[in-house]
Structure 1
Amino acid sequence: MRRAVLHRMIGLLLLAAGNPSVGFAQDALQPYQLVRSLQLVQDRIAAGDHAAMPMQAKLLEMVDARLRDTGADDFKDPRNFRALLVYGMSGGNPLTVETAVSRATVAPEELAIAKGVISYLNGRPADAIETLRPIDPMTLPSDLGAFLALVKGSLLSGEEPAAALVLLDEARLLSPGTLVEEAALRRSVGIAAMQGDAARFALASTQYVERYLYSPYASQFADSFVSGVVALHMSISQDKLGDITSMMDPEREKVIYLRIARRAAIDGLNDLSAFAAARAERGRDGIGNQDDPRALLYASLSTVTSGTVDDVHAKLDRIDRGKLSDGDRALLDAARAIAGELVAPPAALPARKPAFAAVEQPPAVENPSAQPSGQQTSDEAGLPLVEGAMPEQSTAPASGEPAASMSNATAVAAAASDGAAALPASAPAPATGLNPSDPTDAAMIKARRQLDLIDQMLGAAPR
């Protein structure tokens, strides 16, 4: 019944917005009725109804206009003041909130919440948390308490993560199945990973995928999920990871595994990278991705120094570099250079010099400034959460791959192709006990230097 009434209310609001002759409908509605309508639309968006986003924009405009016109009489109804605070904690206009609060006569606790919300909206988190800390969200009406718990949890996530997780749980308890719960779960995933709490991370991730996978904000969840899987790789089993991703559709699952494989390869986690790349290649429901150049590349990165050289070469040769991002093309070039160096023949023996030959002067030290250098690209391998299906948050800038003259990975690849003599001054010869003047030992030193280079390349590559 309540949902049907709200749907009729939204229809009336949109009719009023589109036809000025019936604009009186907007003025006749109380602020709390407008804010409830806005919350209903936001909950639909969180559940995956992206078509409701234009409706949200129109309602935000109408709510803002109505609240700017409120007077002292409007706030005699406590529901209207609570609605003002909810609007503010939903990301409302701080000027509107400040103006409306200045006209209201309310209890000290409500005024304290208002001051904390205004500090929060104006980018003063320390002031906001100091003002809001004594207020227990569980003692407030659920509509206001849920948002207050979410805001406090967000503010405390950096310095007091354990307390933040408790508050986010309270937000979910007070407002299940809403945008508040979606945001609380999404933030819990990142905090649990930061805390090293693998069980909490897996539980929050499972709940998010079950309920909010199609939210327009799910790309933020994906960022936290991929980072958490890499950070907690020693604590999360491959079976548990598979259980979580199995709830995704095949395309989303593939892209998640591609992102995990790339991050794991860059961080030197070969087992995780190989597992994720294999899952991305295998696909699901009989639809494989063996020809996906990214899956082939990340699988090769995890075996370039340990797999059979011929197999690695075969994989690298199958990759269509034209389908890779700039950052991944640099990774491909470096992998090819390293694989080539591992099978390069040892240098020829130098001609024996007569005992009476003049001692040669040592070669000049290579100028470090002559080494290839470039600026680190912010490329993310062209991997969204899922191509064309899960947009970034509406306020985020459009994604793209910034151009760069030469990435760090490209510079390392160029150095690798030039052999050990091209190593920068910061990469000295490893202390191996080998004799550089012996051709066989020199080849071993060169190969080990190439391994060092691939480590440098992976560490410098964009994440």
Structure 2
Amino acid sequence: MTPRTIWLLAALLCAAFVSGAEAEEPHGGHQAEEAGAGAPPAPPLPEPRASALPGAGALLSGLFQVQDSIVQGDRGALKLQADILKMMREQLLAMRGTPILPSTDIAPVLLFGLAGGDPVAAVQVLTFVPEDHPEAGLTQAVVDYLRRDTRSAVVRFETIDPLALPQPLGAYVAMAKANSAMATRRDVAALNFNLVRLLAPGTLLEEVALRRLVWLNAGNGDAAAFYRVAGSYANRFATSPYFGQFLKFFMDGAVKLPTDEGIRAVLDLLPEDARIALKMRLSRQAVIAGREDLADIVSSSLLNDLADSADDRVQRAHLYAGMTQVAKGRLLQAWGMLKHVRRESVPAEDRELLDAALNAVREATDGDPESADIITSALGGAPDGAAAGESETDGGGPGAAEAAARGLSAESAAPAQRDEPTGDAGMKAQSASSMEAEAMTDLQPLMDEASRQLEAVDELLRNLPK
């Protein structure tokens, strides 16, 4: 145990002792001085409720501070949290079977159970709460929750309003209410997770609420809410020890949900090391799942991130980007990325992927990738060398250059947006059209083989381990 831990525990014990002593002296402290000779006497202070766990207030306050330190990246606070919960557990075990009066304050026991303490120890005390206790209904709901009887807990929590409870108890009850409803009442769960965010901003409770809302929105198919909440988490809790679980939820949701521009914002908010690792895994998962649009966005972004790198990650990035182009039928672009990938530089599980992609491109082009632009169009992919939806009508533009490379005229390469050509222009257009038709006829067997190869790649992707 570090000196810092020993010092903090000693301070908490002293505070707990003082709190317990004050609880035994209901009328302790200095009497208020009279404000004036004619001032009426102040009304007597209400009798403080005896606590079911004397001295727990200071320990709970320390526990909440420690938990907030955890989500800010202080890994050493995990041990301190365990020490505080252990001390409170020992107190609870010592008072098992002690009668609890209707006037007894049971909030410390409820908070102990809901804040991650031993649920068995908490239940053993809470079962002695009498039916005429003011918090009997809340106690029964919490007991069901701690026993993992979520069906019963959902029903009992329906009558509990977290906003009517003192804080932080209300925030912890809202969290328990949301957790209980995740399986059967997702609307109730989402409502209460958002309530937790309002009641306990910047705390471990909010971190948990955001993380679970990411999972919940993915399951509900709400892409906009998914990326909005994921962006909030990435911006505020990237240092949390539970950040890895968030990344898993995010990757699964991104592959499952429709592609949304929100993904770019979330990726930009991630720390650099996590961002590159996530993009690497997400690119592969998107390719395997047949999500070419998502794979295109993520793999292109990954290549930009690694533009100044020269390690094996660049090889994998080119592989996933190349596979995306193969899936889209952009064989020239795919070849430009795949031909530089060294087989020994990619993981063993990705080498079959590389072999299949290279084989598909070579077969589709008969060993000549320069012919891939014609085949790409025939297979339904976007023409290589031009952006999707781009129209080249200028005689000196890229469309003319690519047409010249195939022996076609610029007029035949450009989309016909004018009247039907006549005279020499018409003859040239007809000649170009016939040349292209002859080329396509000659390439038909090759195109059929390309289609078969791409189908084989699709089958391989479906059968790859996820």
Q: Same fold (TM over 0.5)?
A: yes
Q: Tell me the alpha carbon deviations over residues 219-260 of structure 1, each in whole angstroms, 9 at most, x when there is no partner.
A: 1211222233333334x21xx433333232222222232233
Specify the alignment match of 2:167 in structure 1. 142
* From 39, 43, 48, the counterpart of 2:68: 43
Change (3 A) 1:318 1:15: farther
Residue 278 in 1 paired to residue 303 in 2? no
Distance 1:77 1:325 in 2: 65
Aligned-partner Cα distance in 1 for 2:74–2:271: 17
CA contact 1:305–1:339 (8 Å) conserved in 2: no
Question: 1:98 offset after TM fit, Å?
Answer: 1.9
Which secondary structure does the structure 2 equivalent of 1:225 belong to?
helix
Are 1:195 and 2:220 matched, yes or no? yes
Counting only pairs closer than 5 Å after superposition, residues 37-436 of structure 1 correspond to structure 2 as 37-70=62-95, 81-105=106-130, 107-108=132-133, 110-234=135-259, 236-237=260-261, 240-283=262-305, 287-288=308-309, 291-292=312-313, 293-306=315-328, 309=331, 312-313=334-335, 315-322=337-344, 324-344=346-366
Q: What are the Cα deviations for residues 56-105 of structure 1, in whole angstroms up to 9, with x where unaligned?
A: 22222222212212367796698962222222223332321221113444
Summarize the Cα distance change of 1:42–1:78 in structure 2 as closer, same or farther, 3 Å threshold: farther
Distance 1:261 1:147 in 2: 38
Root-mean-square deviation (Å): 3.5
- For residues 122 and 104 of structure 1, do their structure 2 counterparts lie closer, same or farther at Cα, with a shift above 3 Å needed? closer
Whole-angstrom CA distance in 2 between matches of 1:455 and 1:46:
42
Unaligned runs of 5+ in 1: 1-5, 17-27, 346-437
Q: TM-score, normalised by structure 1?
A: 0.66
Contact between 1:147 and 1:180, CA under 8 Å: does it hold in 2? yes
Closer, same or farther: CA 289–68 of 1 in aligned 2, 3 Å: farther
Q: Distance in 1 between matches of 2:109 and 2:444?
A: 75
For the Cα contact (< 8 Å) 1:30–1:80, is it kept in 2?
Answer: no
Measured at CA, do residues 290 and 322 of structure 1 come closer, stay the same or move farther in structure 2, by a change above 3 Å?
Answer: closer
Shift of 1:443: 5.5
With normalisation by structure 2, the TM-score equals: 0.66
Q: Secondary structure at the match of 1:453?
A: helix
Q: Secondary structure of the equivalent of 2:76?
A: helix
Q: Is the 8 A contact 1:32 1:79 kept in 2?
A: no
Report Cα offsets for 1:350-408 as digits up to 9, x if no partner: xxxxxxxxxxxxxxxxxxxxxxxxxxxxxxxxxxxxxxxxxxxxxxxxxxxxxxxxxxx
Q: Output the CA distance in 2 between the equivalents of 1:75 and 1:217.
A: 37
- 1:217 aligned partner, one-letter code: Y
Rounded to whole Å, the distance in 1 between the matches of 2:310 and 2:264 is: 17
- In 2, the alpha carbon distance for the partners of 1:89 and 1:64 equals 13
Cα 1:107–1:143 change in 2 (3 A) is: farther
Check whether the contact 1:274–1:302 (CA below 8 A) recurs between aligned residues: yes
CA–CA distance in structure 2, aligned partners of residues 447 and 197 of structure 1? 38
More relative contact order in 1 or in 2 (CA 8 Å, sep 6+)?
A: 1
Distance 1:78 1:143 in 2: 20
Change (3 A) 1:115 1:77: closer
Q: Displacement of 1:322 after TM fit?
A: 4.8
1:214 Cα deviation after fit = 0.8
1:210 deviation in Å? 2.0
113-122 vs 311-320, which moves further: 311-320
**Residue of structure 1 in register with 2:455 after alignment:** 452
**2:223/2:258 contact within 8 Å kept:** no
Larger of the two Rg values belongs to structure = 2
Do the aligned partners of 1:210 and 1:247 also contact (CA within 8 Å) in 2? Answer: yes
The residue aligned with 1:12 is 11
Q: Distance in 2 between matches of 1:194 and 1:289?
A: 38
TM-aligned CA distance change 1:227 to 1:8, over 3 Å:
same
- 2:385 maps to which residue? none
SS in 1 for 2:183: coil
* CA pair 281-139 structure 1, distance change in 2 beyond 3 A: same
Counterpart CA distance in 2 for 1:326 and 1:152 is 46
Aligned equivalents of 1:121, 1:340: Cα separation in 2: 61
Q: Is the 8 A contact 1:48 1:215 kept in 2?
A: yes
Sort the Cα spacing of 1:117 and 1:334 in 2 relative to 1 into closer, same or farther, 3 A: farther
Q: Number of aligned residue pairs: give it.
A: 351
Cα distance in 1 for residues equivalent to 2:276 and 2:60: 39
Distance of 1:306 and 1:12 partners within structure 2: 64
Identity level (%): 29
What is residue 425 of structure 2 aligned with on the other side?
none
